[in-house]
Each structure stands twice: as structure tokens, then as C-alpha cells.
Structure 1
């Protein structure tokens, strides 16, 4: 109900209905995404979208020209800006790594419990005392639990977030990095994100229809004449440009010492042009006009046909075209001359303005496409303008353009189909940006959304990864974002996607170390019990294995940076999927488990068939287990200095523990001699070479047998769990 007065430079405090308007133009780019100022009037626009509601002014927008009186109709959360922020208050989608790791833990736990039960059962069958049999089974079950698994994803996420922070990317939620690795579609708000949100003079057309670059020699007279028709306001700080179009023309114009202004008429939307009267050195006095072609051209005499064609050509490229004309002035009253109507003008040419792309935008989009990510541009501009800018940014000629109104009129399935081949969405309102993101997600895409205005907040929140821009973004966009870019260069997004993909690979490899190594330990304990009547490795020894081969090496792998060749190669192949922690990981776990078990069994058998005690054999088996796992870890991360340091450090600690008499006895070991260490080295070498010799028939059969045994253990665990839950036994293959 309040009345507000608005003038150039004011920020509109609330949504309001215009009661009167005098040449009012408003910059609504922060709300609608349309880069050019919007001319306002009092005529009603019922049912029009926000971008074309010319009888209204909206909270947070800026008056760039004219004056107005308006009646406040909405404040706070009820304004268009407030509704855009409210749409952003949605819960972000759940991340995938933690859920997948929980699933793997549920699968691994029955296997470890089954392994412990088998050790106990086999020990009893071989005549071991009950206490010793149960103790061995419990030791295997407890030691085989992958205790480092809950930490792997967290440590990897924090390490990646720290690396990105050094590049100007602040990760508000570390789990966001998981989604970054899976992103396959990147939506951009155009205005202020891909473009500078600042008008620039990009083309000039001469009176004969020739279209020229602004720095062309024939374009200079046209630009200089357009600059003469740019009025400036008198302020306490000097003369100031009032309108964004005038500022763009003056920035491109060369110095003009010959022009002396005598009178000026500022641009008003209702008039459609700006004018100035002045003297051009010795050439005499002129009235110079710059304005909309539909206003200026009818007042020109002897208009060449090519001129109108040039104006249409420039407008078809999505540019804002202004006609420049002049006529001689012989009178004595400059103010009367500029206020008089237009007639008898001589066309000088046209200047074309546009919100130009940022210098880094094209390279960014090329890099995204190269990495397998589809860019989509969202803008409030006219479809032709949007298409022209998209082509400048590198979108292909066949790029389809759809409008926000068209999408709203479609059903869900039709909307998904329309967006399948569309690279540009024009005339899109804030809630329609949200529809675009949700439709892409419904089509099975993983979507990131980057924007800097309040109108982007809802879409940023709904996206799998929301990207805000600290340097020039609104508070609403930053608060809704999952990651915030502290600088204005969006090219760091390529690094962020690479880190996300490397995170998935590092987590998968670390999980393989944790679960695969433990699976090998369980397998060796079962086989060792068959051979010796009890588990060869004690509880302390199994826990020592986990400490030396699981925790530290796995964490070192988890924090491997994205520029490591082992992760960079996978990051370049395209977005990661949840299947990275699926079948390929299970295959890697089985391979690692079999290789670890082979190294331990080989070392144990060498110890049993060479002179020495049983404790010497179990000590050799302990070294074989640790050595086989460390060698596998190094082979997968041979370029990582941290992994080398961790692995060699673990090996050195093991050797020191084994060779120090008192400590060795505490862990149930004995110091080993040269022959025993040679046997351990031979066993580790055999286990390391085995995966490379799979083509040999005997080794292939051994791997197949071990794989079937692992599958049997898994089936048996499922059978036991099913019986315990239902009381009904079901057949096991």
C-alpha cells in the first residue's frame, strides 16, 4: 500500500505496480536474466511472465533511466525475488558414495563371519580345543572387518576439498565432490555468468549497408557521431553517463576534440531516441540523433535500401541496433532544436550493442565438451538473441533453442524429449529454470547449475551440484550453492570435475585394498586351518596386518590428487557412474583377495617345508600377507610419492617388529634369517606375477577355483542370514 518514488540509480525496495512512468528503464538481469534494460509503462500486462511484466517493478532491480511513482503490492517472501529464494529451500539430493560403501560393508560382513565360523568348525574337526578353536574363529571374524572403510570416503573428500580451495573453489559440503564426479550436464545462467552483463559496441554498419568491425577505419566516423549523441548528467563529481547504451558507445569511441556540445536531450523509452546539438569545428553546427531504427529511419531523407537490410541483419543476430543520423543546424536556440521533432535527417549508419561473452567462456565450454559434459545455457533473452550469443560461445549451428513458456506448456515426458537435443533455453523465468533442471534429472542426467542471480537460486539448489560465484553473485545464489567460486574465472570448474572423478577412482582403489586384503586374510586363515588344524595367524598378527596394509596405505591412496596418472586417465574418459563401485570393484576385490591369499599360502608352505619351527612358518606367512598387499598397492599407485612412502614405511615397521626379539615374541613371531626372508620374497614375487600369468592354464584354473570358493562363501553367508531371519532353510548351490 505504500507509494514509492523511483529515479535513476535507485534500487527498487519491493514489488510495485507503476502509477506513472517517465522514460523509466530498469535493469532486471538479477531477476530475469535478461541483460538489456527493460522499458516500463503503466499499461496493464495481465498474465505476462515476469520478464514481460512492464507495468511492474521488482525488488532488488535497479533503475537505470527515467522516473516513476509506484504502489507497493508485495514485500519480503511474497516478492518475485523472495519466491525465487523460497524455491531454493529444497533439500539437496543424497550423495552416492557413502550409500554404496554401506552396501559393500553389508556384503563383506557375512563373508567375514562365515570365514570365522569355518575356522572354528575346521579347528574342531581337526581336534583343537574348544577355546582355541573359538578364539581363532573370533580373531578372523574381528580382524577381517574393514574398519577403515567408513573413513575412506571422508578422508578422500576432505583432501579433494582442500586441493580445490587452493584453486579458488570452496566446497561447502564435501559430499558434493561425489556428485561432481558424476556430472554429465552443466547448466549456465547466461547473463553475468557466461557473459559480462555489460553492453559493448560489437558491430557498425555504414549508410551503404556495409557491416564493419568497430575498429574498422570506415566505422570510426559512425562511432564518433553516435558518441556525440550521448548526453551526460551533471553531478557533483562531474559529468556522468546515465544510460548503459551511452556508456557502451562512449567506451568504443575515439577522442573527439572538434565537437563542442551546445544542448542535449537524454534518451527516454517513450521518445525512442537521444539527441545533441553542437559545433563540429569549422564544419558548422549539427543536430545528432541516436535511437531506435523504427523511430529514426522514417525521419531520414534519401534512405538507401541497403541501410534497412543492414539493420535487419544485425537485429537478426540478436544485437541491439541503434540508428545514427544528423542534420545541419542554422538556428540560434539549441534547446528548441533538440526538443523539436525529427525530420530531414541524413543517415550516418548503425551501431550494434550486445552483452558480450567473457574471455574464458568459450575455452571453458570446449573443455567441458571434451570431458564428456553437455553445456546448456539458460537465459531470459529473446530466442534470437540467445541463439546468436550461443553461437559466439561455441555452440554448434544445429543447436536447438526452446523457450521457458514452451516447456511449461509441455507434459513431463514431452519436456524431457524437448530438452534432449536443446542446448539453449530462452525467455526462461526463475521457476522455469527449476523445471529445466528437474526435467534433465528426470531424463537420467546428473546436473550442475551455475548462476549468480537471485533468479538462479532455486535451480542451483535443485541441481545435483549447485555452483555460486562469490565475486559477482547474489547472496541468494551463494547460499543455495554447494560450491562457491571465489574468483570470476569459471574455468576452475574443469578442475573441480576432474577432482570429483579422481575421488571416485581413489575411493574404489582404497576400498579394494581394505576389503580385498581382508578377504585374502580370511581365505588364508581357512586354508591354513585345513593344513595345520588352527588359524596360522593370531589375533595380534591379524590386527598388525590390518594396521600395516589397510589403514595407512588405503588412506594414502584415498588422498591421491587428480593429477596422478592412475586417476587422471580415468578422469579424462568421462563422468563416473555408480557402477565404478559395482562389478569392476567386486572383480578387483576378488583379484586382490586371491593374490593376497596366494602370497600368504606360498610363504607359509615354504616355511613348513624348510627347516624351522611352526612359529617361523607363521611369521613368514605374516610377512607374505603384508608384502603381497603392499606390492599390489604400489603397482596401482606407482607414481604417488605418498603411497611409496607409506608402503615402504609399513614394510620397514614390519621388518623391525619381526627382527626385534622382545617385540617379535609379543606378536607371536620369531626373527627370520636370510633363508626365511628369501622364501618370503619368493612368495611375494609369485603372488605379484600370478595376475600377469592368468593366461597359463594352471594359474587360470587356480584363480577360477579361488573365485568359486569366494562365491560359495558369499552364498553360504546369505543362506545363513536368510535362515536366521525367516526360520526357513533354502537350498544353496
Structure 2
């Protein structure tokens, strides 16, 4: 049996037999030895050096380290000791390792913030005395006092309550204060939000006071269970990381094969063994785009700046691209899809709406979101709260509480006294015997009229509105408290709701159009979730809504079918959220998850992209996330997805450009050796091309704006490669063409012309990479950074050829005007080739 199902005495019999005295100090020491301290624990993580070493297990990193070693050996063997290439590669590897360590600190930071939520001190009854103790010293069975504004120090069963309510939104996701009771609840399998006689560690008491018996401490509390889930939850590998790892493996293997083939081919052509070894090593190093990891890091950093302008702050770089691959967005309802502000949606008055609003303002103490919603609605109708209250001064108030479910105020009028009661419609109607008609007269509340009013109430509740009814009574003399709420005259009711954000519907439709499935997850009731879901277009009927309790009854085997059927999940727990995220991931989806509370942290970390709320989010949620939405807005996620897709497209363009250029370099050397010619390019020239004339244009491709059609296509599959077969074929074709141009310059001219054509043609080719559309449509001025980088690299290329002091370093010679013309014509040839290719492809 659960604690909430037990009577108070039964709880005390199990945990503390001395209700009037509390635990003795001797019993406290005994229980502390058994249960331990009331604090969250975390396993000691690995040290910095161990974490640093763990980052070098990736194949691409190992390939780059091998490339650095080979590059160092090659320069040492030739007596040059040029350490530029190996040092740059090592810098890239160290940067990636440090980024990996940074990501692994997420769980540690989240647990630290979870620990900070526990109040440092609390008041308990021990040895018959009320004492103030440190929160970690609490044990099960302790009797703890609660007062307005305090944080609950442990989980427990309430024994006494007086107007007690708690804000549990950080734990349950449900907005507003929850009214508490000390009565037992016989129902089974209640969600946390429905356990009204329980209080939970880390939540806040908003009104009233009470006494509870501690049932769970430390890691056994609900917040402790979340901490346990968080520490064991592993952040998934991002799609970009998977794709780059795959690309790295392919490039590494191809580099080894190319080196071996070229080496043995040269030996068959009677080339010197050492020269062939050095040429093969140089070509193998050239086959790997050493600048690629650094370029990706810089492009993602540029994406961070662009997303910041969309109110999305990126905490972890890979999330920039991952968001563009999202196929499912699991969004919290409150504050993200809705405004997180109670609003009057409907008003029904039997007499006059203005009279009803005036009475709603009189019976109003501004104590909560519902009260403020009525005040705001009254103001929109010209009724100012302070002015209305002056008309009929309040002389007595009976505040709202969870047992009575109503509030009553008594006001002085020129002719006597006015009692106004507002609250649950079932109580108001039960105590009304008449109603105020349109003409201002009082008429009997007949069976027909009651039926009409009940239909109105049912209509409101069916649309997930919270219904507040109001009745009043005029008295000639001051009534006593027993008659204040009897013989009421029914005046009307208001239907309130936390409405959807104005832009949320369009954002949901944009997601669906882009092949992204929006899912709503909330701690609210099923009817409320269904109403908001239908209004936003997330679901069509109530049959597409399921509660956490019903989700528990679904086996893991049947879960995929359920996830396809349901679009809205209500009354869910933290474990449910993690299960949903992992369920969608198992179906091959890239999952984005939004959240703001402590209860969301495990799911935020488990998701491919965790999106925390910047305004209402807890520190725990923010530190478990990858992205923080500064405006708490669902539409911001959609804008960030658009940016993410654009960033991924730019990374893809840069990789396409680098690999097609590397293929051109490989082909130039490979074909020359195959036909018995000497190597047309030296290692220092390959290094110049790879680190200068390739890298700068590739980086500038990263600032291309998102394609206008980026949200008109479905997201990439999680396991999809960066390139399809037709794209690989296109890269090979482009590389072969560039290599052919360089070989033509070599055979008809000299090695300097070959070097110049290979470098300059690649620079020209970068303009082709900007878009799949014709260069005649996009032009070369659309990306001024790319234009300036190309011009800068052309100047550098001319310097290494024309400046005498640089010629011996790069093994170049001055070219005459005719040779420059040939170089210029050959270097421009990639443009007509790509124009023809783009026309053929569409």
C-alpha cells in the first residue's frame, strides 16, 4: 500500500509512534545509520586526464594522429623539419578532446543544482520540542513543520493542514499551486500531481501551514530518483558525429589503400624507393582533409551566433546541427505551447456581464493566477479593480481552501450588506434557490434552468475550461458566518484556461509540413491536454491522447505502435518522459525535448536535443539541456530547426568542396605516377593547397543563409550518410575534372602551372558549391565573405609563384604572360562543367 492510501494514524504506527513528542535523539541516530543522510549522492567521476584520454577512441581522431605522425616523419626525413602541418592537426585533436570533456560535465552540474534545491534547515518535533535542524539530518519518521514560503526538505505524508498549498511545477510540470489535504486517498496508482496528501522534496509551500511525517529521504525521494536517472542517463551521439565518424573511417581506409597502390605502382615504374615512399605518404596525408574538424567547429560556432538572434542559446556545439535533423519534437505544454497565464475564455451571466464581472472583482483577493485573470478581464471591460473595491468596502473574507472549494466576501452597501461567494459550480448551484434575470429581477431557480446551467458547465469543462461560478445574497443586517453562503442568487460563471500562444498553431503546422512530428507532453489532466492539442492541430480527437497511467500498461513490445497512434501524453512522470524519448529514438527518430522543471532533466539529457526554457526553466533543466529557449516559445524551436538545417547544408557543402578538391589532388599525382611521370606536386605544395586555398573558401561556405526550401523537405534519417551515391559520384566527377585540368597544365607546361591550376580551379569551384541552383541565378556577390576569401587566396597563390624569396620554399618559378593566360582559362573551366551538371540534374 502507498503512503497516500494510509490513514494518518497508520502512517504514524509504521514510522513514528510518538506523535506528540516526535522521535528521540537515540532513535534519530539509529535511523541515520540505517538510512544515511538526507542528501543527493553522486558517484565520483573520472579525473581530467582519464577523461582526456577517453576522447582519443574515435577513429577520425586516431586517423588524424596518424596523419600528424606521418607528416612529422616526412618532413624530418627530407631534412625540412616543417612542423606546421602536424602541429595544426594536434591542435585540432586537443580542441575536440576538450569539447568532449565539457559535454561530459553536464550530469555533474545538473546534480549539483539538484542538491542546491534542498533547503539547508527545517523545523522538526523531536523529544517533545520544536527544533531547527539541518535538512541532511532528517530521517524517515521525523515530524516536520511547514510554513508559507519554505522549501519542502523531504518526501512525506501530511498529518495536519491549514489552507496548505504547494507549487510542484518543477517536479510535476503542472502549473499553479496544488491544494493539500491530510485525508487518505484510497485510489491506486495516483500520479504525483494527484497525491494531495503528500509533499515532495524540493517543492515550495505557497500558502498556509502544516505538519508532515517524513516517509523518504535522500536518493529515495522523488527528486532523488530523478537524480539517479540523470546520473545514469547517457547523452546520445549526435547525427553529425556519427556521419563524420563514418566519413573519417572511409577516408582513413582509402588513404591507406591509395598509399599502398601508389607505392607499389611507383616501384613497378622503377621509381626510387624512398622518393616513392615520401610521395605516397604525402598523398595519403593529402587524402585526409585535416582542416575538416576545425572547419566544422567554426561553422557550428557561427551557427550559435545566428541562433542566438532567434532567441535560442546553444550550450553544446553539436546541437546546432542536430536540431536540423530533428524528426520528433516532444514539447511541454505549459509556457511553451501555451502562454502560462490563466485567461478568461468565456463569460456566462444570467443578467448582465458587467454586473458579474463587478462581483468577481469584489470577491477577489489577488492571491493567484485565476484572480489575476479575472482582474485583467475586468480591466479590458473598463472595470478597474481598485475603483470597484472602493464602491463596496470589504468588511470580512472567508478565503478559498481545498475542502470548501469556495471563497466568500462580505461588503457594506448603502442599504445593508452584500455577501458574494465564488467557487466550484456544483457548490454554488447547490446553495442557490434563485437567479438574477436579464431585467434585474430575481426569479426561482427551476429544474429547467438548473439543467440549462449544468449544460453550460459541461460545455465549458468539455473544452478544458476551469469553471468558476458566482452567487450573491443581500442582507439588511450583518449576517453571521453560518448564513453568509446560504440562499444565494445565481449570477453567472466564467470559463478560464491557459490559452495557446498566438504563433504556436503556425509553428506546429510548419513542423508538420517539414516532416517533423510535434508531440505534446504535459502533467495536466487529459481533457485539458486534449483541448489544447486539438486547438493547435497536434491531435484531431481525444482518442489520440493517453495518460501516463495508461502508458504504464503498454509493454515495450507494443510501445512503437502506441507512439505512432498517440500525439498527446497527459499526467506523465519523469520516467514516462524518458521512456517516450527512448521509444521514439528506437524507431529511428532524432528527438528534441523541451522542458523547464526538475522532472524534465532526465528526458532533456536522454533526448538528441534537450531544449530548456530560459525564463521559467530551473537551473537543473538548463544544465541538462543542449539549447536554452530564451523566450520559452515553441516557434523558436521551429526557427532554430530552420537554422539547423541551413547549417547542416553548409557543412555538407564544405565537406563536398574539400573532398572534391582532395580527389583532384589525388588524381593529379596518381595518374602522373601511373604513366611514369615524376610527381607533379611536392608535399609543401599539397600542404599549401589543403590548409590555405581549400580551407578559407570552405569556411566561408558556412555563412550561407538557409535555403528558402529547407523546411519543405523531410528531415534526414538518423543513420543516413552525409552523402548519397549520386553525390559521391558527383564529387568524384568534379575531382577528376579538376585533376585533368592540372595534369594538362603539367604535361603542356610545367609543375608550377600544375600547382597554380590545381589551386586556382579549386578556388573558382567554391562558387559552384554555394547552391544547387545555377550560378547565373545566385551570382558571386551573394556571399561577400566567400568572394573576399577567394580573392585573398588568389593573391597568396600569385605571391608564392612570383615573389623570389618564396619560390625556393614552394619550389615554384615565375610564369610568363602566355602561361598565366593558360592557367587562367583552365582555372575557370569548373564553372561551365557545373552549370551543365546542374542543368542535367534539374
TM-score normalised to structure 2 length: 0.73
Q: Which stretch has the larger CA shift, 448-457 or 12-21?
A: 12-21
How many angstroms does 1:405 deviate by?
A: 0.8
CA contact (8 A) 1:35 1:355 kept: no
1:587 aligns to what?
729
2:84 aligns to what?
none
Task: Map 1:470-549 onto structure 2 (within 5 A).
Answer: 470-531=614-675, 533-549=677-693
CA contact (8 A) 2:406 2:423 kept: yes
Instruction: Give the Cα separation in 2 of the matches to 1:693 and 1:201.
Output: 62
Instruction: Give the Cα separation in 2 of the matches to 1:485 and 1:675.
Output: 59
Task: Count residues with an aligned counterpart.
Answer: 663
1:242 aligns to what?
367
Task: Label 1:130 to 1:429 Cα distance change in 2 as closer, same or farther (>3 A).
Answer: closer
1:177 aligned to 293, 300, 320, which one? 320
Instruction: Give the Cα separation in 2 of the matches to 1:694 and 1:203.
Output: 61
2:430 aligns to what?
298
Deviations 1:27-68 (A, max 9, x none): 322222223543322232354221221221222333444442
* Mapped pair 1:674 → 2:801: no
Instruction: Give the Cα separation in 2 of the matches to 1:128 and 1:65.
Output: 89
Q: CA RMSD in A?
A: 2.8
2:181 aligned to 41, 64, 69, which one? 41
Instruction: Give the Cα separation in 2 of the matches to 1:299 and 1:99.
Output: 67
1:265 aligns to what?
398
2:471 aligned to 316, 320, 325, which one? 325
1:621 aligned to 754, 765, 772, which one? 754
How many angstroms does 1:384 deviate by?
A: 0.9
Other structure's SS at 1:670 match:
coil
* Mapped pair 1:289 → 2:421: yes
1:576 aligns to what?
716
1:365 aligned to 498, 503, 508, which one? 508
2:519 aligns to what?
376
* Mapped pair 1:429 → 2:573: yes
CA contact (8 A) 1:452 1:473 kept: yes
1:224 aligned to 335, 355, 358, which one? 358
Instruction: Give the Cα separation in 1 of the matches to 2:529 and 2:652.
Output: 42
1:711 aligns to what?
none
Q: Which stretch has the larger CA shift, 66-75 or 108-117?
A: 108-117
CA contact (8 A) 1:525 1:535 kept: yes
Instruction: Give the Cα separation in 1 of the matches to 2:164 and 2:270.
Output: 97
Task: Label 1:223 to 1:681 Cα distance change in 2 as closer, same or farther (>3 A).
Answer: same
How many angstroms does 1:22 deviate by?
A: 3.4
Instruction: Give the Cα separation in 1 of the matches to 2:375 and 2:829.
Output: 78
How many angstroms does 1:116 deviate by?
A: 4.1
* Mapped pair 1:648 → 2:791: yes
Other structure's SS at 1:356 match:
coil
Task: Label 1:507 to 1:404 Cα distance change in 2 as closer, same or farther (>3 A).
Answer: same
1:76 aligned to 212, 218, 221, which one? 218
CA contact (8 A) 1:505 1:580 kept: no
CA contact (8 A) 2:615 2:632 kept: yes
2:18 aligns to what?
none
CA contact (8 A) 1:26 1:63 kept: yes
1:101 aligned to 237, 241, 244, which one? 244
CA contact (8 A) 1:325 1:345 kept: yes
1:713 aligns to what?
none
Deviations 1:105-159 (A, max 9, x none): 3322343444444544454444544444444434333333322233232222222
Instruction: Give the Cα separation in 2 of the matches to 1:137 and 1:424.
Output: 59
1:25 aligns to what?
165
Instruction: Give the Cα separation in 1 of the matches to 2:205 and 2:273.
Output: 87
Instruction: Give the Cα separation in 2 of the matches to 1:294 and 1:204.
Output: 17
Task: Map 1:391-430 onto structure 2 (within 5 A).
Answer: 391-398=534-541, 400-430=544-574
How many angstroms does 1:318 deviate by?
A: 0.9
How many angstroms does 1:307 deviate by?
A: 1.4
Task: Label 1:62 to 1:539 Cα distance change in 2 as closer, same or farther (>3 A).
Answer: closer
1:215 aligns to what?
none
Task: Label 1:339 to 1:456 Cα distance change in 2 as closer, same or farther (>3 A).
Answer: farther
Instruction: Give the Cα separation in 2 of the matches to 1:482 and 1:513.
Output: 29
Task: Label 1:5 to 1:250 Cα distance change in 2 as closer, same or farther (>3 A).
Answer: farther
Deviations 1:360-401 (A, max 9, x none): 544443443343322211112221111112234343534611
How many angstroms does 1:515 deviate by?
A: 2.4
Task: Label 1:457 to 1:144 Cα distance change in 2 as closer, same or farther (>3 A).
Answer: closer
Deviations 1:669-692 (A, max 9, x none): 222122212222332344433344
2:7 aligns to what?
none
5+ long unaligned stretches in structure 1? 209-217, 233-240, 608-616, 701-733
How many angstroms does 1:604 deviate by?
A: 2.8
Task: Label 1:593 to 1:570 Cα distance change in 2 as closer, same or farther (>3 A).
Answer: farther
CA contact (8 A) 2:166 2:177 kept: yes
Task: Label 1:587 to 1:530 Cα distance change in 2 as closer, same or farther (>3 A).
Answer: closer
2:16 aligns to what?
none
1:636 aligned to 733, 758, 769, which one? 769
Instruction: Give the Cα separation in 2 of the matches to 1:629 and 1:663.
Output: 22
Task: Label 1:649 to 1:532 Cα distance change in 2 as closer, same or farther (>3 A).
Answer: farther
Other structure's SS at 2:578 match:
helix
Instruction: Give the Cα separation in 2 of the matches to 1:133 and 1:298.
Output: 99
CA contact (8 A) 2:768 2:834 kept: no
Instruction: Give the Cα separation in 1 of the matches to 2:151 and 2:335.
Output: 18
2:487 aligned to 333, 344, 357, which one? 344
Other structure's SS at 2:703 match:
coil
Task: Label 1:30 to 1:356 Cα distance change in 2 as closer, same or farther (>3 A).
Answer: farther
How many angstroms does 1:352 deviate by?
A: 1.7
CA contact (8 A) 1:628 1:688 kept: no
5+ long unaligned stretches in structure 2? 1-140, 434-443, 771-779
Deviations 1:235-264 (A, max 9, x none): xxxxxx334433332333323253232322
Instruction: Give the Cα separation in 2 of the matches to 1:110 and 1:47.
Output: 56
How many angstroms does 1:297 deviate by?
A: 0.6
Instruction: Give the Cα separation in 2 of the matches to 1:367 and 1:572.
Output: 9
* Mapped pair 1:553 → 2:697: yes
How many angstroms does 1:313 deviate by?
A: 0.8
Q: Which stretch has the larger CA shift, 523-532 or 623-632?
A: 523-532
2:496 aligns to what?
353
